[in-house]
Chains A and B, each alone.
Chain A
Amino acid sequence: MNILVPIKQVPETSNVKMDPSTGTMIRDGVESIVNPLDLYAIETANQLKERHGGKVTVLTMGPPSAHKALREAIAMGCDDAVLLTDRAFAGADTWATAYVLARAIERIGGYDLILCGERATDGDTGQVGPNIAAALNIPLATYVSGIESVDTGRGEMSVWRMTEHGYEQLLLPLPALLTVVKEISFPRLPTLRGKQRARASEIPAWGAGDLGAEADKIGLKGSPTRVVKIESPKVTRGGTVVKAADGPEQAVDQLVAFLRGRDLV
């Protein structure tokens, strides 16, 4: 089973600092990591490979430094990696990102399955996976929480997908694209051997020319959306805080009065 995993490098957001004057994120000194939600896609791909053979190829569109994310995936057990990098890709929204990824996937070819993360923790959109499936016209299942079975002979798989009401089971012919949620697997840590392999790996870098990408479909130019303003919402609310130690009944009375004042009870 040949599996492709598009991954994204994102800023580590656990301690984001905002510049209050500009309302933008301070990127200096912010570490880049593999999108945490992509680790589940990487792990799932590696497990499928272990069970059914084949190989796992990770790819990312990003700045030249994004090869670090690819090497981390190799250290976790992925076999090959492709970096999609070109100044002309800059400023891409999900549409233009998916266009480039789809062109690269066509060039790689010979795949049975594409696994994407549920969403990237920076943009929080979760659009790129369905975008790629549409661009390639291959079957799609989103928010996949479990793989029930894979029949490589028949070329189909059955998966569980999250819905508002629980889960539903879908049967998809391969090749197909899945976006996966955290519930699907438990990512393993990189191994020492994997890290060595990662360091030694040659990672090809493809640009717009290599992909035969149309100029009006890539980067800012190919992106229908424009971010026109960024602001940082106020975080602290400065609410009332009471101490149960000063009398738990009183604290609860105050709380109930507060809720009543807001029409919440």
Chain B
Amino acid sequence: MKHTGVWALAETHGGKLRDVSFELLARGRALADQLGCELVSVVMAEPMPQEELQELIARGADRVLAVEGEALGDFIAETHSNVLCGLIGERRPEVVLAAATFNGRTLLPHAAMRLHAGLTADCTGLAIDPDTRDLIQTRPAIGGNILATIKSPNHRPQMATVRPKSTRPLPRDAARTGEVERVAFRPQWLDGRVRKIGERADQQDEANIQETDVVVAGGRGMKKAEHFAMLRELAGHLHGVVGASRDAVDRGWAVYPRQVGLSGKTVTPKLYVAVGISGAIQHLAGMKTADVIMAINADEDAPIFQVADFGIVGDLFEVLPLLNDRLAQEGNP
């Protein structure tokens, strides 16, 4: 049986689809059209309402393959991997995509190992080679210093995790049609070894620097934890989330999940604002692929200005309040 079909794994949280699921469908749609095959949205979750699954069709899927079971409510790598490997073995897709989220970057390598499939992490570009049907995957590596193009010519399925926010979801099209296929959870898929026994929210808020369009980041130049209030205000005006350099995190001004850079997170927002951040290579590694970069720094030789689309050389304690006032007047709430 030959491998056919593009699969995009949907992610859910608290019984709702997460936006990355729709971004992935936009990627998958382009590939499926090029390959002339079906785009399947794979949902592994606790039972979901029909409207929620129908939404995946409105966002580009031809088919929704929903495996539902109470055991899938929590993300347990082994159980999810059993389901995914089981379905892939039966249906043999050509391409399998997941979001490069904590869970996607756990599940896909687990499954790829068992399937002896090629897996490329955190891709920012995907295309199809029309002659070989190979998935052409591009991704930044070595701290963003290189862009590598990777293929898996002799192995199927071809698997990739895709960086969140590296593409936009397709507009919702309620007229699209497709089939919702529900598959009952099979007892042999359950791996009861690991159990989730608790959770707690990020101390600051629910927002995530990897899944927002705007990141407003502060560094050592902010001088004090209290001054981060100015960044939160700016982030409010720009509908963004506050991030930080390692220096700021090490000083306890922001929590580690907000750290941008080599030993923190890589972000690709539409707008990255660096305030009081020098732009060390390890910091740049995490943000230089942002669409637009803006910097405020007192030192005109700070390396951050080399990657900035717009920079202000000046004292942030003078510039930030002015900027916040201006945006408040503009009616950016």
Chains A and B form a bound pair: yes
In the complex where A124-B142, A255-B310 touch, is A265 in contact with B319 (Cβ < 8 A)?
no
For A254, list chain B residues within 8 Å (CB). Answer: 310
Complex Cα–Cα for A129 and B77 (A): 12
Given A125-B122, A168-B199, A231-B146: A140 in contact with B141 (beta carbons within 8 A): no
Q: Which of B65-73, B86-94, B300-308 contacts A (4 or more CB under 8 A)?
A: B300-308
Across the interface, which residues of B come within 8 angstroms of A163, CB to CB?
75, 102-103, 199
A220-253 vs B, CB cutoff 8 Å, 1 = contact: the mask equals 0001111111111101110111111100110111
On whether the beta carbons of B155 and A229 are closer than 8 Å, the reply is: no
B263→A182 contact, CB < 8 A: yes
B288 at the interface (CB under 8 A from A): yes
Q: Is the CB of B112 within 8 A of A226?
A: no
Interface residues of B in 307-323 (CB under 8 A from A): 307-315, 318-319, 322-323
Residues of B within 8 A of A170 (CB): 194-197
| B193 neighbours in A (Cβ, 8 Å) | 139, 172-173
Cβ < 8 Å to A, chain B residues 196-245: 196-202, 206, 208, 210-211, 214, 237-238
Sorting the interface of chain A by its residue count into under 10, 10 to 19, 20 to 34 or 35 or more gives 35 or more
In the complex, chain A residues whose CB is within 8 Å of the CB of B263? 36-37, 121, 182
> How far, in whole Å, are A16 and B281 apart by their CA atoms in the complex?
9
Contact B13 A165 (CB under 8 A): yes
- B271 at interface (Cβ–Cβ under 8 A)? yes
The total of interchain contacts (Cβ-Cβ below 8 angstroms) comes to 289
Asked whether A235 lies within 8 Å of B314 as measured between CB atoms, the reply is no
Give A166-221 interface residues, CB cut-off 8 Å to B. 166-173, 176, 181-183, 217
Contact digits for A113-134, partner B, Cβ 8 Å, 1 yes 0 no: 0000000011111111111111
B143: chain A residues at CB < 8 Å are 13, 16, 121, 124
Q: How far is the CA of A83 from the CA of B206 in the complex (A)?
A: 43
Asked if B113 is at the interface of the complex by the 8 Å CB criterion, the answer is yes
A108 in the interface (beta carbon within 8 A): no
Q: Which B residues lie within 8 Å of A33 (CB)?
A: none
Give chain B residues whose Cβ lies under 8 Å from the Cβ of A24: 146
Against B, the Cβ 8 Å flags (1 = close, 0 = not) of A15-33 are 1101000011100000000
Of A45-53, A57-65, A256-264, the stretch lying at the interface with chain B is A256-264
**Using Cβ atoms and an 8 Å threshold, which residues of chain A touch B195?**
170-171
For the complex, what is the distance from the CA of A88 to the CA of B262, rounded to whole Å? 31
B314 and A244 contact, CB distance less than 8 A: yes
Residue among B81, B150, B266, B332 facing the most chain A CB atoms (10 A cut-off)? B150
Interchain CB contact (< 8 A) of A95 among B105, B113, B144, B281: B113
How far is it, in angstroms, between the C-alpha of A176 and the C-alpha of B206 when the chains are bound? 29
Say yes or no for B183: interface residue by CB 8 A criterion: no
Question: B residues within 8 A CB of A265?
Answer: 237-238, 327, 330, 332
B194 near A256 with CB under 8 A, answer no
Q: Is A9 an interface residue (CB 8 A)?
A: no
Judge whether B238 and A130 touch: CB under 8 Å: no
- Give the residues from 135 to 149 in chain A that come closer than 8 angstroms, CB to CB, to chain B: 135, 139-143, 145
Query: Contact between A251 and B312 (Cβ–Cβ < 8 Å)?
Result: yes
CA distance A148 to B154 in the complex (A): 43
Q: Is the C-beta of A93 less than 8 angstroms from some C-beta in chain B?
A: yes
Counting from the closest, the 6 A-B pairs by CB-CB distance are A244-B314, A224-B118, A169-B198, A224-B155, A239-B309, A134-B113
Contact in complex: B313, A241 (CB < 8 Å): yes
| B308 with A225: CB separation less than 8 A | no
Complex formed: what's the CA distance from A145 to B11 in Å?
22
Residue of A nearest to B297 (CB): A241
* The residue from B106, B139, B310 contacting A239, defined by CB atoms under 8 A apart: B310
Whether, in the assembled complex, A44 has its beta carbon less than 8 Å from a beta carbon of chain B, the answer is: no
Tell which of B81, B136, B323 touches A255, judged by Cβ atoms closer than 8 Å. B323
Q: Kindly list chain B residues whose C-beta atoms are within 8 Å of the C-beta of A230.
A: 146-149
Which of A98, A139, A235 contacts B194, CB < 8 Å? A139
- How distant is A95 from chain B, measured CB to nearest CB, in Å? 6
Q: Sample 30 A-B pairs with CB under 8 A, ordered by A number.
A: A13-B282, A16-B142, A16-B143, A23-B146, A24-B146, A121-B142, A124-B121, A124-B139, A134-B81, A134-B109, A139-B193, A164-B13, A164-B208, A165-B202, A166-B206, A168-B74, A171-B197, A228-B150, A228-B151, A231-B147, A231-B149, A233-B146, A239-B308, A240-B311, A241-B300, A242-B310, A244-B313, A244-B318, A245-B313, A259-B294
